[in-house]
Structure 1
Amino acid sequence: MLSNTALLNIESGWRGINVDLDSRYVDRLREARPDDISVCCAIGAADGEIEAVIFEEGAFNTIDADRQARFTATKSSGERRIVPVRTIPSLLDEYLPAGQEIGFLNLDVEGVDFAALNANDWKQYRPKVIAVETHAFDLHNPKGNDVFNLLVSQGYRLRAQMLVTSIFSL
């Protein structure tokens, strides 16, 4: 299973807001997890529209131009589409119930993770735990990573690092 939130849903009944830029995946989420809110859009630095490349294997879907070039060079099934893009606070303003704390934010936005986190309203939205992809993260030089520096500046501590995912908590 490649989904942290699916595992949490199955193992402990976790519910939340799921966001994906691939409508095929969002349709499956809506069917499998009807108590969740599932939104079809990309997450990025600003609200609007952006070009995405959608692959048959959804794990490679991306709005990041560098990854688009790299992935389309090695995969034949990429389809370019214009998709809506939203910021984290824009989505939470719309979908998070008033007074609801955010226990866990799982962010996997293929190359725009820092931009998405940097656009958050940290005074209003402070998840207790954040799992975020940090490709090329170096445990011997964590301060060389923009995501690390941003989250530490917001009071988070790095708690774990596995493969390309870093886990931070308040």
Structure 2
Amino acid sequence: MKLKSWVPEKIYQQYLKPFDLNHLHRLGKRIYSQEGEDILIERYLGKKSKGFYIDIGAHHPFRFSNTYYFYRQGWSGINIEPNPELFGLLSKHRPHDINLNIGLSDKPQDLTYYYFEEAAYNTFSHEIAMQLIANKNILIRKEQIATTTLPLALKNLILPTNIDFLSIDTEGMDLNILMTNDWDSLRPQLILAELKVDSLRLALESKMNQYLEQSNYRLVSKLYNTILFKRLD
């Protein structure tokens, strides 16, 4: 049933039209991210035919992807994904990107990787894994995987001078990974990170925000489980 068919025209036009999927389809917007992160990024960066991104915890070539919308516009970038099955899908469906089958952490080390029935929940964090299991999410298996740091993962790659945005979603490891970055050499214009807090106040008080403020980034937007930072220099 179309939204427009069961509400008064005046109410539809004033309040509901922006959220009507039929209307959005006519606008030609296809959203691939979970919470509209891709459209939010475009609002900050503008419509660009070329750009570069880094996607840490890329997960899938298009399902829940913060970068696939831009890939379809002609952008390219780096996808980092420790799950070999998902890495295979990225390599198949995102051939113009650099796809790395690597796990990241705060130092080179072997960590236990937890595979869940819902692959978006896969994590290196024991704490997060135990919470997921307690919430009745099904653990399929776990295995030891060698991890490295973000600078070491990118060391042998030639990166463009301008990185438009970095997206990171690693189920509990985001801050540890970002703290290894060399901010003098890698300074994306925007950073998307996962943060599960229920208010903007808690986001501003978070360790993530405190850390990135020190690197001259400002928290400029919050979605349900995602926060967006903008570079100030």
TM-score of the two chains, using structure 1 as the length reference: 0.91
CA drift of 1:124 comes to 1.6
Partner amino acid for 2:142? R
CA RMSD of aligned residues (A): 1.6
Corresponding residue to 1:119 among 180, 190, 201: 180
Letter in 2 for 1:128: Q
Q: How far 1:79 moved relative to its partner?
A: 0.9
Which of the numbers 29, 52, 67 marks the counterpart of 2:113?
A: 52
SS at match of 1:13: coil
Question: Deviation per CA, 1:15-49, whole angstroms, max 9, x where unpaired?
Answer: 11101111111100000011111111222111232
Aligned length: 168
Choose the corresponding residue for 1:84, options 146, 151, 157: 146
The alpha-carbon distance between structure 1 residues 145 and 48, as it changes in their structure 2 partners (threshold 3 A), is same
**Matched-pair contact (CA < 8 Å) for 2:81–2:100:** yes
User: Which among 61, 82, 85 is matched to residue 24 of structure 1?
Assistant: 85
Tell me the residue number matched to 1:146: 207
How far off its partner does 1:98 sit?
A: 5.0
Report the residue type matching 2:101 in the other structure.
C
Does the C-alpha gap of structure 1 residues 141 and 98 become closer, same or farther in structure 2, counting only changes over 3 Å? closer
Displacement after TM superposition at 1:112 (Å):
1.0
* Higher normalized contact order (CA 8 Å, seq sep 6+, divided by chain length): 1
Q: Name the aligned partner's letter for residue 92 of structure 1.
A: L
Give the alignment partner of residue 131 of structure 1, picking from 192, 195, 200.
192
Q: Which amino acid aligns with 1:18?
A: N
One of 154, 157, 165 as aligned partner of 1:104: 165
Q: Deviations over 1:62-93 (max 9, x none)?
A: 00111111223422343101112121111221
Runs (5+) with no aligned partner, structure 2: 1-31, 33-63
**CA spacing shift, 1:127–1:67, aligned 2, 3 Å:** same
**SS of the counterpart of 2:188?**
coil
- Separation (CA, whole Å) in 1 of partners of 2:185 and 2:198: 27
TM-score by length of 2: 0.68
- Matching of residue 43 in structure 1 with residue 104 in structure 2: yes
Give the structure 2 partner of residue 165 of structure 1.
226
**Contact residue 72 and residue 78 of structure 1 kept, 8 A:** no
Deviation at 1:141, TM superposition (A): 3.9
